[in-house]
Amino acid sequence: MPDGQPWPRISIVTPSLNQGHYIEQAIRSVLLQGYPNLELIVADGGSFDDSAGTIARYEAWLTYWVSEPDAGPANALNKGFSAASGDIYGFLNADDFFLEGSLRKVALEFQAHPAADMISGHGYFVNAAGATRVPVFSDRWHLDRFLHGTCVLFQPATFFRRSWFEKAKGFKASRSTWDMELWADLALAGAAFHTTDAFLAAFRLHSGSITAATQSRRDRMGDAVAVRERVRGRHESSRDRVRTLAYRALRFARHPLRTLRQRLYFHSTLGRWSL
């Protein structure tokens, strides 16, 4: 590193299921970072497309990979991280990709903020071809806004220290909001959150993604409420709903064009106005 210290080891886990059209770009976006202390682990859920063949071509550069049935993305991630040895963890879905130089920025950010246990950056929504970028921003961490659904971290640009992942006991495989629930578990464990203004990753919106599925959206909405109620220690009240509306109005007032641009992009790629 610039101060002569060794670069921290970064472990990236990529869960995958039938993402043969995109997984090569995800893998290459990690390996071509040029980061000097890196491990990439791919946990494929037994895809029946050409994913396994694509992954196998990169076997020499992977720390570990497997293609076998699993219990979903959270289970695949837990399996992958059980084989990891890094100081810093991150996960990249098979249809997303990192931007150039992202991992060096992440390592330098952790060095500049040694008290931070989790760091989130910004990124882009892209279409199926990986083009037409619309910027998306991680919010500055605020627990009350999180409990009202208005503090969102951009998942592929979020990284955390291994020690805190272990304190949180990994991902909860019982819900569809495994990433959001990890943020909640880290917060409950006392982790310190930090947001960087660096753009680190791209999140692909396409018809074959989990995000695009209508039932998955319903499941995520219900599970998100359950996570917030677990952290809050009680059921959502009418006062909570009013507070949520107030937070959303404030957020829109601060960045109206950003919000409108994202909503229009959701409609053009997913056929609806929200994720």
- pLDDT tens over the chain, length 275 residues: 999 999 999 999 999 999 999 999 999 999 999 999 999 999 999 999 999 999 999 999 999 999 999 989 999 999 999 999 999 999 999 999 999 999 999 999 999 999 999 999 999 999 999 998 899 999 999 999 999 999 999 999 999 999 999 999 999 987 889 999 999 999 999 999 999 999 999 999 987 777 766 677 888 899 999 999 999 999 999 999 999 999 999 999 999 999 999 999 888 888 888 88
Separation of alpha carbons 41 and 153, rounded Å: 23
In a domain, 2, yes or no: no
Sign of CA dihedral 149, 205, 210, 97: negative
In a domain, 4, yes or no: no
Left if phi > 0, otherwise alpha if psi is -120 to 50, otherwise beta: which for 198? beta
Q: pTM of the prediction?
A: 0.95
In a domain, 252, yes or no: yes
Residue 34's domain spans which residues?
Answer: 10-270
In a domain, 190, yes or no: yes
In a domain, 87, yes or no: yes
Residue with tokens 């995958």: 16
For the chain, the domain total comes to: 1
Give me the pLDDT at residue 212, please: 61
Separation of alpha carbons 73 and 187, rounded Å: 22
Separation of alpha carbons 35 and 107, rounded Å: 10
Specify which residues 91 forms β-bridges with: 13
203, amino acid identity: F
Give me the pLDDT at residue 213, please: 66
In a domain, 3, yes or no: no
Give me the pLDDT at residue 266, please: 87
In a domain, 151, yes or no: yes
Separation of alpha carbons 15 and 79, rounded Å: 9
Q: Which residues of 12-35 are buried (b: 16+ CB within 10 A; e: fewer)?
A: bbbbbbbbbbbbbbbbebbeebeb
CATH of the domain at 224: 3.90.550.10
Give me the pLDDT at residue 132, please: 80
Structure tokens at 39: 């491990």
In a domain, 16, yes or no: yes
